[in-house]
Chains A and B, each alone.
Chain A
């Protein structure tokens, strides 16, 4: 390594002196930002809890799993959207992320994660990485997340983003999700966010007995229902269709 001359050191000191206020200011702003985002995140969690109270029985959950909410309280959602949308990142709404894709509404992310019923040592497969937000929330809860994204720029960006944010337990691959990820199968849970005309048989095969798969059905901005595929301990598969909202189509004595 090259020795610094006194002059150079002096010059560096001058630079530091000059930059110090700016650096402090920047740190201050960052801290204020972090604080502001933490507040927004807390408000987002309140919104999710309120939605849960309303829907309670309709998604077969009395309360939101506190672990899921805690995880969502840790993930910096604003990092998963474009800069011009960061201020809106914690609103309880979906946002466009380009390529005709969206980052889901926080409430829907919470319900889907909750329905998966994951444990700390689980291995989870995600089909359709998108922004990577759902993978990050899962990464807070489980041992290992494998995520597949078919749109290459999204895969690249999500991978870069998650590694920057320090999510070491998420592995992203650009590719087709139909065949799952044989190499890491079976999975305790699978979450599918990409559109498909049917539930891919290979994904059902890669689900562990006792495992669950959740698929939102609807459009990019409006989730109409959640399809949950359940594999029981004997390997028998059944599905459940859940409305993410309190609505009974049938009233009266029928």
Chain B
């Protein structure tokens, strides 16, 4: 079919790599932007569904491929132009649509706004997918190479965006991406030797200038209900500094007139208030504070009136480890109680910069003063590598109450609160030392109970026959603090506990020897839920309690690290009946959003897949009968699409445990997967021996299945062995480990496409669309499966999917081959 064209015979590989990279970078950046504007889980839903633009493109091209491929140069370039323009314009329009998730219950038309946001954000992905699919169809003899360049470009894009979000604020990064796309318009014009390439280059340059001008006038339209927006309503507050990184967008807020007085969990018996403070918001929410320190110890007395002060009243720890230094509140608390040696760990280097440099004087150099040793690192990884033993390990309250209590973290993996993590902390306690974990109190109780269950399990795994003797749980109306001791609690400590709690009106929920007359005294709940739960979780009725409790509070493990997932379908009807009667907050909304995203994606995909099929059936009725079975094509591309992301997502999680850093782990793993898959794809062209597509695909899939299965067993010990090694070594090992798996994963898709181009070329856009839809469903489904079954199960499912794909590899039914076959 190439004879019809007399334009450039070489595919525009550079521009393909550029737009693939930009599309992936754009996706990650949108996630960042909408996490700032709205909340993370909504960002997740919006971007997941926007990616259906790929599926829409497949459908669109089923109808128009012929016409567009005939004018390939023009249509390829036009789609890049539209992609470039829409990246900035669609975002700008979408962010102006004021959508308030909380109002949906009362005001269903809000959903229309949400729908409008999906549509707008799907447009850029639609255009870029058009450009890529057109290239695949136009240069069908070099499909593997094009797909390879697409994957490698995406892999580089995933690294590029990490750099971009580190050096630029998210809006500028958006504009830079748009300008980069404008550049690829010009590059595409030259690569394709377009007649008007000079004019196009000039136009692209002009476009880039307009974009940078427009970018300078753009502002983030942050939801008025986010913490930062709310704080800015108060007279005399202003944002004095912002920092951006993939870890979050930090806004530093000073308040001139009204003190911030951030002291969560303060006892109702407290008569003291916090000194002046400066607030740091992450993604316009999640406030942490830097507190003024005028070397007046008494100013920090308020920190003695929170539940997290408990361990200091049971003994005087010499060496305290604070996980999550934030603005320094826990360091102040340790210093107030006279801890001579404090090691503090903070993940975000920009937060550290703000506290240590910008507010050095204000905070009296809290992070750098004598006796305080600061490490910028991920908390769990730090402990795992540490050779020290601590008298007290404090796991700080890092997330905000609002987000936590609304169940917004349900989708997030947290490796800080798993059984495996607690075991790591426990092994780093000095004899008699404490692990202290403070959590927000929620009504009805959820995470405190899950944490307690996780602690009991961790102690049992450490061969403790009586976990109850090593646990103390106290609560205020706002926070709970759980103490796990390296050793059994003694009478002296229990007496100190009782004094501490009584003076501050904190309730005891568990200590060894607790009686039911001592509980639920100061902050009275309808029932002494915490005590009842603690007793049940330590006794023989534990499983019955897990089953009967209306929230999911079973312990979390590294393989299923969704600590914030509390939702049970069983309770869903009950809560839905109460939703308009104040029951809505009982719903764990994060999980439901995930489920809703999946349902929407499935419905949209069904439409996008079935719609063009009926059309294609009518137009190519003879071809489909004599070419390949549509059902096989459908399942093959669907299974390959699902499988690819299942493997990718599951292994990203495995490597998070090795690299111990959410950003680095994800970008290293993702980039390795995409780049090695790209290499695999590039090689398929050559490996196509006499056996043809089907055999190569079968070998590739056998390779995927065997490697993935082997890794499920081998990776754990390997990662454990590598934990203490330096980061660069770990990064290289990760890439090396991923390489063979990803290499094989890069093959099935281009092999399938290549087969189609020989047997039924009209199905190529459809297969492209099916794969696009599958990718969207896959990402959501993988998270749901991981929540319920664990990441190992996700890998097992992926292997099954790939095997089923091998079986359904599109076979040519009739001997007569479609035109265009080589």
Residues of chain A touching chain B, judged by Cβ–Cβ distance below 8 Å, are 51, 54-55, 58, 91-94, 96, 99-101, 105, 107-108, 150-152, 176, 178, 195-201, 204-205, 217-225, 227, 229, 237-252, 254
Contact = CB atoms under 8 A, between A and B. Distances in A.
Contact of A249 (B225, B523, B529): B529
26 contacts: A93-B105, A96-B103, A100-B230, A105-B582, A107-B582, A151-B233, A176-B257, A178-B261, A197-B262, A197-B263, A200-B261, A217-B405, A218-B585, A238-B268, A245-B583, A246-B581, A247-B444, A247-B550, A248-B526, A249-B444, A249-B529, A249-B549, A250-B548, A251-B550, A252-B548, A254-B544
B146 interface: no
A221 B100 contact: yes
Nearest to B230: A100
B194 to A, nearest CB: 51
B268 A199 contact: yes
A213 B272 CA distance: 19
Contacts, number: 169
Contacts of B548: 250-252, 254
A223 B536 contact: no
A197 B443 contact: no
Nearest to A108: B582
Interface centre among B106, B272, B581 (most CB of A within 10 A): B581
A222 B102 contact: yes
B463 interface: no
Contact of A238 (B229, B524, B533): B524
Contacts of B444: 243, 247, 249
Interface centre among A205, A219, A223 (most CB of B within 10 A): A219
A143 B650 CA distance: 64
Interface centre among B258, B443, B549 (most CB of A within 10 A): B443
B406 interface: yes
A53 to B, nearest CB: 10
Given A150-B233, A237-B268, A241-B443, 12 more contacts: A51-B581, A92-B580, A176-B258, A178-B258, A197-B261, A204-B268, A222-B406, A222-B584, A223-B582, A224-B443, A240-B525, A247-B575
Interface in B506-565: 521-527, 529, 532-533, 536, 541, 544-545, 548-551
Given A225-B443, A246-B578, A239 B524 contact: yes
Contact of A245 (B477, B533, B581): B581
Nearest to A93: B106
A240 B524 contact: yes
Nearest to A227: B477
A189 to B, nearest CB: 16
B505 interface: yes
B264 interface: yes
B270 interface: yes
Nearest to B477: A239
Nearest to A92: B580
Nearest to A50: B581
Given A227-B477, A229-B268, A241 B525 contact: yes
Nearest to B476: A239
B24 to A, nearest CB: 33
Interface centre among A152, A196, A249 (most CB of B within 10 A): A249
B572 to A, nearest CB: 13
Nearest to B544: A252
Contact of B522 (A195, A218, A227, A239): A239
A96 B98 CA distance: 12
B273 interface: yes
Interface in B417-452: 441-445
Interface in B239-283: 257-259, 261-266, 268-273
